[in-house]
Structure 1
Amino acid sequence: MRKWKTTWLDRPLVGFDTETSGVDVDHDRIVSACVVRWGGGQMTEARNWLSDVGGMEIPAEATAVHGITTEQARAAGRPAAAVIEEIIAALAGHSDAGLPIVAMNAQFDLTLLEREAARYGLRGLFGRSVPLVLDPRVLDKHVTPYRKGKRNLAALCTYWCVKLDGAHNAEADAKAACAVVGKIARRFPWLTSVDLGDLHERQVHWARAQTADFRRYLASVGGDVDLTPFDWPLLPAPALPGDVR
């Protein structure tokens, strides 16, 4: 009898998404977050958090995106340090079990989580585990490099025929990101033949090249080029005053 070889797609994926007070990983805060175990022939399990954002104000621009006000966060949110600790513990537990972390634009959510950990004197995810990350944006751009249009989660869901219920809700976005990765891997099955560790490292190089290519394109059309140091899945820490790099 022929035995079918199992791949990482036959096991659950662990989706991670945050809604935040802004887009600056060094200064903004996690407002809400979700860690979801998805697929692998198992029941989907989601764990959600709402933070009091450490007493910070949530700008109106951020509330317009995710719908969470400062008043709601302070009234219903739990202490930020406890929320960050629990998120990291949940992700580290899944990572230690050999499950990949799926995060759309991973360098944003994962870097912000590390900065939040440092803010509260906690050990970050990358100090507790060796997470292997799958980023649907990086994968999509690698396998369909010449497709026109946006590459945000909503656009990826449309292209890969994934239903997105309630965009900019951490749970909905985390589940959708997992579903997009699943669709990409099924259409390009060679991805599932690559060891997760190797696939993680390939994404490091793909993400760097994709960002460099985009910056060259912007420069060629006279656009504003973001020269902020980039890496994946974590952005470099900001230079300290007097630090020469």
Structure 2
Amino acid sequence: MSQVLPEPLFGDDFFAPAAPRWSTTLGVFDLETTGVDVETDRIVTAHVGVLDASGTVTRQRSWMADPGVDIPEGATAVHGITTAFARANGLPSPQVVAEIVTELRAIFAAGIPVVAYNAPYDFSLLKYESLRHGIEPILAPSPVIDPLVVDKTFDRYRRGKRTLDAVAAHYDVLLEAAHTAADDAIAAGRVAQAIAARYADRLPFSEHELHTRQISWARAQAESLTEYFIKVGRLEPTETLDGAWPIR
């Protein structure tokens, strides 16, 4: 009599590589601001939080600041906050900046990496806001994970935009309200986790090694984009894009 063999105990994922250590607990950070100049523009809203391995929010704080300057119409069109609304409902800018810095320092001190999409923008603007208000800045944030840099490295030739909403859609991450600090921060963290799952066999297991590698990846990406912009006439041959990461 023939013997019926049992079904395999494990599916195809049994030999799948483990997700990198850094993806199991992630800090998340995002700013919405008065503009795109990191040295002169101001924070309007901000979010700092922590996600667990499933992408669930386990800790979070959000802020609205009165930036102390008018919010340009172009910025309002992006994030929806007017000058009048921020003045009526926002906290004093120095208080907001100090509390953001304190929250981020606590997350880094706990050994948790912080995800920021296009990290040099958020961390640099926070640095200059800190200096403006006499607050000790975070000058060397680490470890940081930037899904924009990592996605460009591992899927370099994919066509289409690399905005957060486009990249979130690519990785099947829900982003309900783009350009709100909380939703953007949380979506960026979940994108980082999706990237970790997809490229688990190729990504560094340690958050510190990943941080170090992103420094060189970001520099290479800036050099490549500089060459392209010179070729199409968007930059002069003597100009270069700043590839410093995660802060400028």
Task: Tell me whether the two structures share a fold, i.e. TM-score over 0.5.
Answer: yes
In 1, Cα distance between the equivalents of 2:33 and 2:23?
A: 32
User: How many residues are matched?
Assistant: 229
The counterpart of 1:223, out of the listed 219, 225, 234, is: 234
Deviation of residue 195 (structure 1)? 1.8
Q: Which structure's CA Rg is the greater one?
A: 2
Cα distance per residue 1:8-28 (max 9 Å; x no partner): 245321110000000000100
Cα distance per residue 1:23-55 (max 9 Å; x no partner): 0001000100000111235653321001111x2
Instruction: Give the SS at the match of 1:26.
Output: coil
In 2, Cα distance between the equivalents of 1:32 and 1:72?
A: 12
Deviation of residue 172 (structure 1)? 0.3
Deviation of residue 230 (structure 1)? 3.6
Q: Report whether the alignment pairs 1:161 with 2:161.
A: no
The counterpart of 2:45, out of the listed 18, 29, 32, is: 32
5+ unaligned residues in a row in structure 1: which ranges?
A: 236-245
In structure 1, what is the equivalent of residue 99 of structure 2?
Answer: 86
5+ unaligned residues in a row in structure 2: which ranges?
A: 1-16
The counterpart of 2:195, out of the listed 159, 164, 184, is: 184
In 1, Cα distance between the equivalents of 2:107 and 2:53?
A: 13
TM-score with structure 2 setting the length: 0.87
In structure 2, what is the equivalent of residue 45 of structure 1?
Answer: 59
2:28–2:115: 8 Å Cα contact kept in structure 1?
yes
Instruction: Give the SS at the match of 1:15.
Output: strand
Task: Pick closer, same or farther for the CA change 1:89–1:44 going to 2, 3 Å.
Answer: same
RMSD of Structure 2 on Structure 1 (CA) = 1.9
Instruction: Give the SS at the match of 1:47.
Output: strand
Deviation of residue 215 (structure 1)? 1.4
Cα distance per residue 1:143-170 (max 9 Å; x no partner): 1011111111011011111110100000
Task: Pick closer, same or farther for the CA change 1:112–1:43 going to 2, 3 Å.
Answer: closer
Task: Pick closer, same or farther for the CA change 1:24–1:165 going to 2, 3 Å.
Answer: same
In 2, Cα distance between the equivalents of 1:191 and 1:87?
A: 33
Cα distance per residue 1:180-225 (max 9 Å; x no partner): 1000000111355432111101001000100110111121222346
In structure 2, what is the equivalent of residue 65 of structure 1?
Answer: 78
In structure 2, what is the equivalent of residue 8 of structure 1?
Answer: 21
Cα distance per residue 1:54-83 (max 9 Å; x no partner): x21100110000000011111110110010
In structure 2, what is the equivalent of residue 136 of structure 1?
Answer: 147
Q: Report whether the alignment pairs 1:112 with 2:125.
A: yes
User: Aligned partner of 1:52: which letter?
Assistant: D
In 2, Cα distance between the equivalents of 1:36 and 1:191?
A: 27
In structure 2, what is the equivalent of residue 238 of structure 1?
Answer: none
